[in-house]
Structure 1
């Protein structure tokens, strides 16, 4: 298909234009055109997810802002561009830490965002002056941006809006191009004036659950991605799939559970961190207020915010003008599946008999995508311009260019730091509309945390991890048997009057290594206090066994590693101890850890933790100073002491901290 496109472009006398785009024309001396323009204004350029913010300390686009301004300046000189479309998430109200001062005037908030990014606004006005039509399509991070506020800043901008907080823009010679942000189909991001209406006593509560999660996640990122153990409520009874209502609630819970275990800001779960006096909310909420739990009647629901969210999806879709509604189960399961949005593009537009659309452009996911369906139909996701695109580290500053005419030709590019432009369509493209093949054969693997039946009570649960989705059923059975035995090991050796609460945590690294640890709390009848412990193990997802060795084998220069410990290069925490730790305790802990290097059990005390860290532990001296001590160091800092087996893991885990 790419050859057919090239032939058409050659026939259109655009050889030089394509060559400049494909090879990159670097010129930072002045605002030159992005490419050698044709004689006809027939190109629609689409950018999205700019995420410019109210304060550079919080914003996701700061380093790339000068490059965005440069891009806009060069776009003005590119005389075959007919339109520039900003496809949502332009001015960001969501990426804010929870400690950002509470406010009541959203108009003033957005005006402050505009003032903080006046250089971008000025160039957008200049884009219009150059003869290019400027269009804005609303996104989820700016769903409360009122039209008059944006019009005051950019008077001649065209705004595509339909339902509140949503919009679709049709363009092209035949209106054959449909551009929308894509959050309309996302349970966590689509406007929600239904679920909290009764709680708040009004129908202005447009913010969906994703707003609260985004604030929480932004806080974690801005605090340096701390690793804080959180005692999250656990749903132990998994509903049968035939119970569509409760199984949907469980899937929603599972998604929140997975992200909440990884993103752990310093704020307490029961702390009223969401002080809300905007968008129909007028109260302060905790994280637990919208975290699903098992209710007294056995059903699964958040206790305060977004109660029974699975039951309002149908009504939300009607209000949000979804052309072809889907089930809550399909929508919530697709939240973290970027291909879900490609499927929605097909259902809503490309394969919808009521639509006459050849090209659909979405934003929202930050993952650039180019899908040629082979029948003149295309799906494009134009990606993002944020500084650190953790959803797709290979590319940021990406944009779509669609040439309209008798035949519509879409393309996808990245604007490089040196001013060159790279064609990335082939690298993010699937065959004939199919999803690009998975880079990792283990991509379909999923993990679930289960609880041992008839054990403990509401405060003590013996939990274990179960794996599904492995292609080899024998390997999967072997792995699950080993995981269950490892996780539940404390219960098999426990005294009759001792009950354990066991919480497993795991990371998948190096493609097929499962690094798992369990945090165990032993409650013994008559004991003055519970005793905490930890155990760690490395499993292979390829063989299902523990033949991957241990992480100590991954360290080549063990002497240098020991010196890192003695030099205090590792972070330190004492289990169960609150407050600042005395320096003498830290020194004693580092010394004890270094001295334990030569013991047989030392190699079994490593695990990969959150945020790209290597962790290890040793027993503490007593309960007052910690039942066990935890140490961690960024994996990237171990490159000089690593074996060839660890080096590729270091390269892969660099992205975890981004």
Structure 2
């Protein structure tokens, strides 16, 4: 092609995230400037009529903002707006660049450029507070998966303990925090080496108090929040503390609010925020939800799920340095004995994968898992939870959790699961964090009986934010609050919900942050939506 025949395209881009939907604006900070970069030098006489900034009001109307547009001294094709001079925190705006803007060569854009954005609040937990919140208490914070243990030789949170105490102290002193929610796994009754007696010959109450004693600085910080009474502290059960009852919790955190439904489960909705639900998430997990299949064996009301036994093995594997796998799995093959047997075959495959990923020095047949908890009084071998196949008739059976596959639907009913999860999906995907993420949509966002627009889970230790839209094109936000355990790749994370600040504002911000040992707070993700 002859170079003279090439037609240059006049285009524009900005340095802020792009969104052409008013219902899904990008989120920016107040600091710095908005750069508007063109592919050619501009005819500046066309800028005043061609570039506009509008404030988007809650009713959808747009108000023209008187804004100064500057030329970058190093590049005449770059214009900029100083954010602090033109925009305010908590507001939504529309940046419009129309075809009225022309280059010095007379070319114009092929189509108008529109970018919707909102301005996030300058978040902090300092005693001075967030300036634009005017010392009002309306922030809802959520943490989860602290996994406080009774012994630092194997507990998952030791190095981060001091940072957690500092965080809680800042929460207490912040003039803007209204609530702090602990979304499960506060106390860890599962992450204990296989050979140990969980309660050391004592009771669950004694164990709970031992955890509190081992984490005295953390408990003191929580209790200071409760005693001062300015910040509501709420506890929701997780799977690692699903046996810890209300009396246990109140014995170490007297006066804390608790959100419970059936034993081992709970969900919390703030009283003035019905569109929000916070729970741990293990309710929807085949391996971690309260299970009832061992009651005939223990002759008790046990609810301990199979994930407990895996965690005991995994703890020993970690303590042993994840040794090389040195076991031979007894063969289990797919048979032709029906759907239930196929599901047990899938169940065996999942267990085989977990044991392979977390091998231990002990063999499959050694009775090394010391239980003494929730009706279990024996020592168990790994093979007691690993399905096996009868060589005579190919029937796949299991010693512990007999009937766990057949009773999954009944188990979901007892555990108040709103939308049933198919058994094959539950067995195969239960070990994946993405399956928990999916349940925010299945159980709430896609459920016509649900009015929730913000769902917060913990459990997976994978902090993330995922957005979606319902049939009415209303935005929905799912957040996983992550964890505070020492060795997690992304740790010390928390969620902040910032409701609209005033009658003329309608945006709720849902932000995911990471705390640091130095007290610095890093924003990982921010979303804004209409409630």
Structural mapping, 1:93-242, within 5 Å: 93-101=189-197, 103=201, 105-128=203-226, 129=228, 131-171=230-270, 173-193=272-292, 195-202=293-300, 204-237=301-334
1:273-313, CA deviations, whole angstroms, 9 ceiling, x for partnerless residues? 123222122222111111011124322232x1112421121
Residue 182 to residue 377, structure 1, CA distance change in 2 (3 Å)? same
Question: How far did residue 258 of structure 1 move?
Answer: 1.1
Question: How far did residue 183 of structure 1 move?
Answer: 0.2
- Taking the aligned partners of 1:352 and 1:206, their CA distance within structure 2 comes to 27
Q: Match for residue 514 of structure 1?
A: none
Q: Match for residue 379 of structure 2?
A: 284
Q: Secondary structure at the match of 1:413?
A: strand
- Taking the aligned partners of 1:17 and 1:328, their CA distance within structure 2 comes to 42
- Taking the aligned partners of 1:286 and 1:253, their CA distance within structure 2 comes to 15
Q: Secondary structure at the match of 1:370?
A: strand
Residue 164 to residue 356, structure 1, CA distance change in 2 (3 Å)? same
Q: Secondary structure at the match of 2:235?
A: strand
Pick from 68, 89, 92 the counterpart of residue 188 of structure 2.
92
Question: How far did residue 350 of structure 1 move?
Answer: 1.9
1:246 aligns with 2:341: yes
- Taking the aligned partners of 2:516 and 2:491, their CA distance within structure 1 comes to 9
Q: Match for residue 522 of structure 2?
A: 422
Question: How far did residue 11 of structure 1 move?
Answer: 4.7
- Taking the aligned partners of 1:192 and 1:5, their CA distance within structure 2 comes to 45
Pick from 409, 423, 442 the counterpart of residue 509 of structure 2.
409
Q: Match for residue 347 of structure 1?
A: 442
Residue 239 to residue 119, structure 1, CA distance change in 2 (3 Å)? farther
Q: Match for residue 337 of structure 1?
A: 432
The farther-off stretch of 334-343 and 251-260 is 334-343
1:10 aligns with 2:108: no
TM-score, normalising length from structure 2? 0.73
Q: Would you say the 8 A contact 1:34–1:77 is kept in 2?
A: no
Q: Match for residue 628 of structure 1?
A: none
1:299 aligns with 2:402: no
Question: How far did residue 4 of structure 1 move?
Answer: 5.6
Residue 140 to residue 33, structure 1, CA distance change in 2 (3 Å)? farther
1:252-275, CA deviations, whole angstroms, 9 ceiling, x for partnerless residues? 111111121222111222111123
- Taking the aligned partners of 2:132 and 2:334, their CA distance within structure 1 comes to 62
1:73 aligns with 2:169: yes
The farther-off stretch of 209-218 and 309-318 is 309-318
1:390-434, CA deviations, whole angstroms, 9 ceiling, x for partnerless residues? xxx2x11011001234543211011123221111127xx9xx9xx
Q: Secondary structure at the match of 1:372?
A: strand
TM-score, normalising length from structure 1? 0.59
- Taking the aligned partners of 2:330 and 2:264, their CA distance within structure 1 comes to 32
The farther-off stretch of 99-108 and 252-261 is 99-108
Q: Would you say the 8 A contact 1:370–1:425 is kept in 2?
A: yes
Residue 34 to residue 256, structure 1, CA distance change in 2 (3 Å)? farther
Q: Would you say the 8 A contact 2:90–2:119 is kept in 1?
A: no
Question: How far did residue 99 of structure 1 move?
Answer: 1.8
Q: Match for residue 560 of structure 1?
A: none
Tell me the matched-pair count: 412
Q: Match for residue 365 of structure 2?
A: 270
Runs of 4+ in structure 1 over 4 Å off: 4-9, 13-17, 31-37
Larger RCO, structure (CA 8 Å, separation 6 or more)? 2
- Taking the aligned partners of 2:395 and 2:420, their CA distance within structure 1 comes to 25
Q: Would you say the 8 A contact 1:76–1:130 is kept in 2?
A: no
- Taking the aligned partners of 1:124 and 1:402, their CA distance within structure 2 comes to 20
Q: Match for residue 111 of structure 2?
A: none
Residue 62 to residue 4, structure 1, CA distance change in 2 (3 Å)? closer
1:371-404, CA deviations, whole angstroms, 9 ceiling, x for partnerless residues? 1214231111010000011xxx2x1101100123
* Structure 1: runs of 5+ lacking an equivalent: 26-30, 433-658
- Taking the aligned partners of 1:199 and 1:149, their CA distance within structure 2 comes to 26
Q: Would you say the 8 A contact 1:249–1:308 is kept in 2?
A: no
Q: Match for residue 13 of structure 2?
A: none
- Taking the aligned partners of 1:37 and 1:148, their CA distance within structure 2 comes to 41
Cα RMSD over matched residues? 2.6
Q: Match for residue 595 of structure 1?
A: none
* Structure 2: runs of 5+ lacking an equivalent: 1-23, 30-54, 57-86, 93-117, 501-505
Residue 116 to residue 63, structure 1, CA distance change in 2 (3 Å)? same
Q: Would you say the 8 A contact 2:334–2:342 is kept in 1?
A: no
- Taking the aligned partners of 2:516 and 2:130, their CA distance within structure 1 comes to 14
Structural mapping, 1:606-621, within 5 Å: none
Q: Would you say the 8 A contact 1:103–1:278 is kept in 2?
A: no
Q: Would you say the 8 A contact 2:335–2:394 is kept in 1?
A: no
